[in-house]
Structure 1
């Protein structure tokens, strides 16, 4: 750690206008609409900044903030319940929210939890299923080498389903999944330092989407820490997690959008490892006459993978679980059981049964077969 960093720019409506591309002459309502387009929960931050600057809030804005606080409190309650029984890491979300000043509301959307293994993941899922009325549980399996990882998205209705996304707790054994089948392999461990873990998992988001204003504000809150890592230390950590290009992009985006001069030393330190990482990603696989771009490699793997669960996992492509009923806890169960029979693959888990699928379209015949196999196995097997 270094000496105290220079102060970051405070988060105000003017800063949010700059990050969201809203001109000074445009209304606060325009700012709200632009925030909604960037991220469904970002209006919470806009409203809290407006309240801090003395703008009067109507009943709709006040209720938006109340619902956000209630969601955050519910997530905190569930996290504390899980953490009391299992080793679990909290990333982004509430971890970052704790760095915001009291007058600002970090947008509350999902709760992301990382667990050390599959048994812990299912124990956490059973705990959650016993506390909330789950509507859906999205299952994804992935494999790299000998390791198979599980990601589980647990969803239940929000208080106001017309205005707010469903609650979602994402449990995963894999903190850095990357692009499935892409040139960057998954990274299986989080940094011990929560500051680094939060920043690097923010950078990881670039594999799924473009950065936006909420990410920039999160970066500002992180760098408001009185003793962030040195530029060289951060560059070393980013290179070790193969995230230097993504982190450079995130910090450069924040630097430009927020005028955060304190990030200049960090972007300079990241340029060399970012260039080295990009060169490594574009390295040919040995096929003569090919550019071998990352997306081409992912497509090649998808094309070469046979339409079986094992072949898809072997190709480092995700396998999804199609639910065969609503999720519900099976107390005492902490393991999964897989059945490959009659041309289908079933996975029985501590919170429900799944048909493992290799594509977006599942035939009626495969679904009907899965139900017959499930009936044959017995509901309580």
Structure 2
């Protein structure tokens, strides 16, 4: 932000604001605020505790431990981010990238870490680098495509040191951030060059997965209120390019409905987003995607229609000489053979025992799988 330009938003962030955001009475104690924060999302309690500490409220050993574990989680994700950048030119979106704009004393809780890589070969280098350091982990994978180009989303998760209290550590590595909704918004490859803009677009993209909540409102307030935030026109241009004006507008409006959080919002930013949101909404109605409303469950047909499919793990593998995965069809479905594991691709949550057994037989018969296993 240049010295002569006002911030896009001004915000207030203290226990009183959080108390109101969580729907509590103004007489509610700090303890009540922390308890309500616990119900919002994993780790949000640590944010509330750090907010209380910043206002001079003493923390006991349990509360201090909660904050310390949250900071340790952030530090571990920051270390992974650095290693992933060296392994596969990975770039973080949200998470540590966004946390740097929070007030210094506050902890932005992070359930998982999102990394985007330039291509699939880079993805498997990063995933292998992660799993080589772990004794036990879970690998999940999803596959989709756009205009004939295949994209993968992988997730590696493993237990924390305090697995009874804390959610598993989880790192998502993907070749695409903006996956859309399979109805009116397609995959949009690429990530904005400017970090604040990239984080804003990634936050807006999350609306396709879930409604916005208190944490999202705080995130957008912190980003738009940062001295690093670019001019409104740059944000509007990116929202238009990534077809996210409706979602970004909804996110800013959502933050504006949180009692006391925003004290100023740039009117030009909101007006431009509103105009673009109307245009984008009309376009979505006029040009629905071919897969819109599809209830197709067959993985092969979903792949042909460029709809996402998920991988059900069949077995681990070790194919250090494979830079990328392969999809192999069999009579009842499709296999995904990767450098680290083999999966049967599925289009629904529940999978029949018949399909699972057929996939195992097909895996055993597939010469690529046998040669690389």
If the length of structure 2 is used for normalisation, what is the TM-score?
0.91
**Are the equivalent residues in 2 in contact too, given 1:5–1:224 (CA < 8 A)?**
no
Match of 1:197 in 2: 198
Q: 1:298 and 2:292 equivalent?
A: yes
SS at match of 2:327: strand
TM-superposed CA distance for 1:227, in Å, is 5.1
TM-superposed CA distance for 1:138, in Å, is 1.2
Q: Distance in 2 between matches of 1:197 and 1:379?
A: 41
CA root-mean-square deviation = 2.2
How is 1:94-173 mapped onto 2 (pairs within 5 angstroms)?
94-173=96-175
Q: What per-residue deviation string (whole Å, max 9, x for no partner) do you get for residues 104-127 of structure 1?
A: 111121110001111111111111
Q: What per-residue deviation string (whole Å, max 9, x for no partner) do you get for residues 39-80 of structure 1?
A: 212111101011111112122211111211221121122221
Question: Is 79-88 or 276-285 further displaced after alignment?
Answer: 276-285
Q: Distance in 1 between matches of 2:209 and 2:146?
A: 19
SS at match of 2:292: helix
**Are the equivalent residues in 2 in contact too, given 1:20–1:35 (CA < 8 A)?**
yes
**Are the equivalent residues in 2 in contact too, given 1:177–1:186 (CA < 8 A)?**
yes
TM-superposed CA distance for 1:284, in Å, is 6.3
How is 1:6-21 mapped onto 2 (pairs within 5 angstroms)?
6=7, 8-21=10-23
TM-superposed CA distance for 1:135, in Å, is 2.6
SS at match of 2:257: helix
Q: Distance in 2 between matches of 1:86 and 1:361?
A: 34
TM-superposed CA distance for 1:184, in Å, is 0.8
Q: Distance in 1 between matches of 2:68 and 2:134?
A: 20
Q: Distance in 1 between matches of 2:287 and 2:87?
A: 47
TM-superposed CA distance for 1:151, in Å, is 0.3
Report how many residues are paired: 366
Question: Is 264-273 or 192-201 further displaced after alignment?
Answer: 264-273
TM-superposed CA distance for 1:328, in Å, is 6.5
Q: Distance in 2 between matches of 1:25 and 1:169?
A: 40
Q: Which of 268, 280, 284 lines up with 1:281 in the alignment?
A: 284
TM-superposed CA distance for 1:99, in Å, is 1.2
TM-superposed CA distance for 1:264, in Å, is 3.4
Q: 1:376 to 1:310 in 2, by over 3 A?
A: closer
Q: 1:272 to 1:372 in 2, by over 3 A?
A: same
Q: 1:343 and 2:337 equivalent?
A: no
Match of 1:312 in 2: 302
**Are the equivalent residues in 2 in contact too, given 1:339–1:345 (CA < 8 A)?**
yes
Q: What per-residue deviation string (whole Å, max 9, x for no partner) do you get for residues 147-205 of structure 1?
A: 111000111112222322111100111110111x2111111011111110011111111
SS at match of 1:140: strand
Q: 1:247 and 2:248 equivalent?
A: yes
Match of 1:265 in 2: 268
Match of 1:371 in 2: 360
Match of 2:92 in 1: 90
Q: Distance in 1 between matches of 2:54 and 2:110?
A: 18
TM-superposed CA distance for 1:379, in Å, is 7.6
If the length of structure 1 is used for normalisation, what is the TM-score?
0.89
Match of 1:223 in 2: 224
**Are the equivalent residues in 1 in contact too, given 2:183–2:292 (CA < 8 A)?**
yes
**Are the equivalent residues in 2 in contact too, given 1:87–1:115 (CA < 8 A)?**
yes
**Are the equivalent residues in 2 in contact too, given 1:175–1:188 (CA < 8 A)?**
yes
Match of 1:324 in 2: 314
TM-superposed CA distance for 1:330, in Å, is 4.4
Which blocks of at least 5 consecutive residues in structure 2 are unaligned? none
